[in-house]
């Protein structure tokens, strides 16, 4: 689960997309209350989810071209990168959310929003069953169907407990705004309980032991926030127990922040050491009770336990049940995440697109495609290509598959060059396909799935809205750019992810950043960069103003420790 503090930049991709067109009308055979949808003149686009991916699509889609509807159990968009700041009151919850109705009102054309949960996607009949989460007698069961011509699945992911006993019942999560608010109240509860009369010192210690499971960006940022909250505010308010507070991070890997550059991991580890935050690496949690957490030290196999007052579980994400159900319907039951092609079309599901954390671009298909490109070029089935043919094939692959292109541009270009030259350094007349594919097999390790981050989700939403907006153009120019004509593949460029770097706030007004071009920056100045980037990436002037004023309030008055 590689998410996090990324520069949240909505990429301005210049790519378009040809969208599958279906004439077939929707079937209304499934039971339930049908909505009074009039026969649409425009194609119906149904968006599921109002997170990073969904709102990014909605922000850019031209709603005059489509009949756009949105379904989500939350009627707001939440700026998730600031959730850790909400857990300790650095930023207020309402400062990081924006009502979805307000966001879509600014768009050209009308977008309809339904506050409900999608409980089933009926892929065969192109309709979804929704259930309102509002408790009201008027709504009876609160179920209704929505039909679509195109479905945009942007349902995100849910927390993953890895079926560890006791986690669901005894741990806090940090995924939603409510989770952050709950943590804020529980932290104060722990302090208030610890100072009550009649408790032994061990009981006070247990109450003030905060355990974070998962050394990824979310867990680390929360640990840093908690430490700052304690050092900056709570130590003055609860002086009698100040020496009993302990923060522990449990990480199964060998280092925390292991998806970052090694320099950042070690800077974070050293900083945490100085701050007195204990980091236990190489440990896997085996169970959690209301008072104790048990873990196995991977190298020794020993199981040890420690008492806790509060555990925050931040180890990764899993698939939502509604997405899992769809995967079973469309023959993807053996996969972990919904697979799409590079144009973000769900494999095996007509007219459905999936973006953000709920989906991944299927890399296996890319490998198969590369093999068939070679096969098609090798007309005599000789296993070799002329240098010219080979270069054409490589050009084709590079344009179609950005991942391979990146790979070829970097380390392994030498392997490719080697294949093109003989021992004397002269150009070869023929190139051995298997030899090239062998060198390309390294690509497998490079072609990892895209990280589950807001940055990816937002870029995918923006890419897809551009594709939808260019629908008409695509119909008018079905041949697409000349380069692909006759290839029988796809007329437009696939989704290309552009990485803008990532941040890790480490507390004490210090942060680390990994920037494009292998740049690493750590310290106080990076924290100021973090402030500027996150202020600028707010989705509205209202939230920008609220977030900046929350930061200013915290500088002047400190954090609020009221338990409300």
Q: Identify which of residues 177 and 385 has a Cβ nearer to ligand FAD in the complex.
A: 177
> Rounded distance, CA 159 to CA 36, Å?
36
> Rounded distance, CA 205 to CA 455, Å?
40
Q: Identify which of residues 335 and 428 has a Cβ nearer to ligand FAD in the complex.
A: 335
Q: Which stretch binds ligand FAD (CB under 6 A): 77-85, 182-190, 196-204, 279-287?
A: 77-85
Q: Identify which of residues 75 and 469 has a Cβ nearer to ligand FAD in the complex.
A: 75
* DSSP 3-state of 113: strand
What does each C-alpha distance from 417 to 394, 420, 426, 433 come to in angstroms? 12, 5, 11, 14
Q: Identify which of residues 205 and 320 has a Cβ nearer to ligand FAD in the complex.
A: 320
Q: Which stretch binds ligand FAD (CB under 6 A): 197-205, 236-244, 447-455, 470-478?
A: 447-455
Q: Identify which of residues 54 and 215 has a Cβ nearer to ligand FAD in the complex.
A: 54
Considering only 61, 153, 154, 249, the residue that binds ligand FAD (CB under 6 A) is: 154
Residue 421 β-bridge partners:
427
Q: Does 161 bind ligand FAD (CB under 6 A)?
A: no
Rg, Å, the chain Cα set: 26
Helix extents (H) in 352-508: 363-377, 387-400, 402-409, 413-420, 433-440, 443-446, 454-469, 471-476
**Helices 363-377, 433-440: inter-axial angle, 10-degree rounding:** 160
Is residue 313 within 8 Å of residue 161, measured between CB atoms?
yes
Q: Does 52 bind ligand FAD (CB under 6 A)?
A: yes
Q: Which stretch binds ligand FAD (CB under 6 A): 67-75, 206-214, 301-309, 385-393?
A: 67-75
Considering only 227, 320, 345, 400, the residue that binds ligand FAD (CB under 6 A) is: 320
Q: How many residues belong to the site for ligand FAD (CB under 6 A)?
A: 38
What does each C-alpha distance from 540 to 107, 108, 547 come to in angstroms? 14, 17, 11
> Rounded distance, CA 447 to CA 441, Å?
10
Considering only 146, 224, 279, 457, the residue that binds ligand FAD (CB under 6 A) is: 457
> Rounded distance, CA 515 to CA 500, Å?
7
Q: Which stretch binds ligand FAD (CB under 6 A): 24-32, 70-78, 393-401, 433-441?
A: 70-78
Is residue 488 within 8 Å of residue 479, measured between CB atoms?
no
The dihedral of CA 332, 334, 340, 342: what is its sign?
negative
Q: Does 316 bind ligand FAD (CB under 6 A)?
A: no
Q: Which stretch binds ligand FAD (CB under 6 A): 27-35, 153-161, 288-296, 547-555?
A: 153-161
> Rounded distance, CA 479 to CA 490, Å?
10
Q: Does 514 bind ligand FAD (CB under 6 A)?
A: no
Q: Output the smallest distance, CB 156 to ligand FAD, in A.
A: 3
Helix extents (H) in 298-432: 321-329, 363-377, 387-400, 402-409, 413-420
Q: Output the smallest distance, CB 369 to ligand FAD, in A.
A: 26
Q: Does 452 bind ligand FAD (CB under 6 A)?
A: yes
Q: Output the smallest distance, CB 328 to ligand FAD, in A.
A: 16
Considering only 32, 73, 109, 165, the residue that binds ligand FAD (CB under 6 A) is: 73
For 446-472, give one letter per residue: b (16+ CB within 10 A) or e.
bbeebbbbbbbbbbbbbbbbbbbbbbe
Considering only 43, 44, 59, 74, the residue that binds ligand FAD (CB under 6 A) is: 74
* In 478-546, beta strands by DSSP E: 502-507, 510-515, 519-523
Q: Identify which of residues 80 and 526 has a Cβ nearer to ligand FAD in the complex.
A: 80
Structure token pair of residue 50: 């109002």
Using CB atoms within 10 A of its CB, is residue 441 exposed (0-12), middle (13-18) or buried (19+)? exposed
Residue the block writes with tokens 């939502």: 320
Q: Does 356 bind ligand FAD (CB under 6 A)?
A: yes
Q: Does 453 bind ligand FAD (CB under 6 A)?
A: yes
Q: Does 83 bind ligand FAD (CB under 6 A)?
A: yes
Q: Output the smallest distance, CB 498 to ligand FAD, in A.
A: 13
H/E stretch holding 103 reads helix 100-105
Considering only 69, 90, 207, 218, the residue that binds ligand FAD (CB under 6 A) is: 218
Q: Which stretch binds ligand FAD (CB under 6 A): 5-13, 144-152, 205-213, 413-421?
A: 5-13
Residue 211 β-bridge partners:
248, 311
Q: Does 315 bind ligand FAD (CB under 6 A)?
A: no
Q: Output the smallest distance, CB 16 to ligand FAD, in A.
A: 22
Q: Output the smallest distance, CB 259 to ligand FAD, in A.
A: 12
Q: Does 6 bind ligand FAD (CB under 6 A)?
A: yes
- Contact positions with ligand FAD (CB under 6 A) in 357-416: 357-358
Q: Does 71 bind ligand FAD (CB under 6 A)?
A: yes
Q: Does 51 bind ligand FAD (CB under 6 A)?
A: yes
What does each C-alpha distance from 279 to 241, 283, 296, 307, 488 come to in angstroms? 22, 10, 15, 16, 54
H/E stretch holding 146 reads strand 143-147
Q: Does 3 bind ligand FAD (CB under 6 A)?
A: yes
Residue the block writes with tokens 């009926």: 122
Q: Output the smallest distance, CB 413 to ligand FAD, in A.
A: 29
- Contact positions with ligand FAD (CB under 6 A) in 471-510: none
Q: Does 153 bind ligand FAD (CB under 6 A)?
A: no
Indicate the residue whose CB is closest to ligand FAD. Answer: 51
Q: Identify which of residues 5 and 170 has a Cβ nearer to ligand FAD in the complex.
A: 5
Specify the length of the chain in residues.
564
Considering only 61, 118, 247, 339, the residue that binds ligand FAD (CB under 6 A) is: 118
Q: What angle do CA 464, 469, 118 make, to 5 degrees?
A: 50
The dihedral of CA 6, 10, 15, 19: what is its sign?
positive
Q: Can you give the binding site for ligand FAD, defined by CB under 6 A?
A: 3-6, 8, 48-54, 71-74, 80-81, 83-84, 117-118, 154-156, 174-175, 218, 320, 322, 356-358, 452-455, 457
């Amino acid at each position: 689960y590689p998410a996090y503090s990324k520069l949240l930049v909505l990429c301005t991709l210049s790519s378009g997309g040809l969208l599958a067109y279906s004439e077939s009308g929707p079937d209304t055979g499934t039971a339930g209350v049908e909505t009074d949808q009039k026969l649409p003149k425009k194609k119906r686009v149904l968006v599921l989810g109002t997170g990073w991916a969904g709102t990014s699509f909605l922000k850019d889609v031209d709603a005059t071209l489509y009949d756009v509807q949105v379904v989500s159990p939350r009627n707001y968009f939440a700026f998730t990168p600031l959730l850790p700041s909400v857990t300790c009151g650095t930023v207020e919850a309402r400062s990081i959310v924006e009502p979805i109705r307000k966001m879509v009102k600014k768009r050209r054309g009308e977008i309809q929003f339904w506050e409900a949960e999608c409980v089933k996607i009926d892929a065969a009949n192109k309709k979804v069953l929704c259930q309102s989460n509002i408790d009201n007698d008027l709504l009876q069961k609160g179920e209704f169907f929505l039909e679509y011509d195109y479905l945009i699945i942007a349902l995100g992911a849910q927390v993953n407990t890895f079926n560890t006993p006791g986690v669901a019942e005894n741990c806090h999560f940090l995924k939603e705004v409510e989770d952050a608010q709950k943590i804020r109240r529980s932290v104060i509860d722990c302090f208030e309980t610890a100072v009550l009369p009649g408790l032994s010192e061990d009981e006070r210690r247990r109450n003030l032991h905060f355990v974070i499971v998962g050394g990824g960006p979310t867990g680390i940022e929360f640990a840093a926030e908690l430490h700052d909250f304690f050092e900056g505010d709570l130590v003055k308010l609860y002086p009698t127990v100040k020496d009993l507070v302990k923060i522990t991070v449990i990480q199964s890997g060998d280092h925390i922040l292991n998806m970052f550059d090694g320099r950042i991991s070690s800077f974070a580890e050293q900083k945490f050491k100085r701050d007195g935050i204990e980091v236990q690496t190489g440990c896997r949690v085996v169970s959690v009770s209301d008072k104790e957490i048990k873990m196995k030290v991977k190298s020794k196999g020993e199981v040890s336990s420690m008492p806790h007052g509060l555990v925050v579980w931040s180890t990764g994400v899993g698939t939502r049940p509604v997405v899992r159900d769809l995967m079973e319907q469309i023959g993807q039951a053996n996969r972990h995440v919904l697979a799409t092609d590079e144009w973000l079309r769900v494999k095996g599901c007509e007219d459905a697109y999936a973006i953000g954390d709920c989906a991944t671009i299927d890399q296996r298909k890319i490998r198969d495609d590369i093999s068939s490109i070679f096969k098609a070029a090798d007309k005599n089935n000789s296993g070799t290509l002329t240098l010219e043919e080979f270069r054409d094939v490589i050009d084709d692959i590079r344009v179609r598959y950005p991942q391979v292109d990146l790979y070829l541009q970097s380390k392994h270009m030498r392997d490719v060059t080697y294949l093109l030259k003989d021992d004397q350094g002269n150009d070869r007349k023929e190139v051995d396909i298997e030899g090239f594919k062998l060198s390309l097999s390294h690509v497998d390790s490079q072609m990892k799935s895209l990280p589950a981050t807001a940055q990816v989700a937002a870029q995918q939403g923006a890419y897809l809205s551009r594709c939808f907006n260019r629908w008409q153009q695509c119909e008018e120019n079905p041949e697409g750019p000349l380069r692909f004509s006759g290839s029988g593949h796809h007329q437009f460029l696939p989704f290309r992810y552009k990485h803008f770097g990532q941040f890790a706030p480490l507390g004490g007004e210090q942060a680390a950043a990994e920037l494009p071009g292998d740049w690493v920056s750590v310290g106080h100045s990076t924290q100021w960069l973090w402030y500027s980037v996150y202020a600028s990436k707010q989705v509205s002037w209202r939230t920008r103003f609220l977030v900046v004023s929350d930061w200013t309030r915290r500088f002047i008055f400190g954090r609020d420790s009221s338990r409300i």
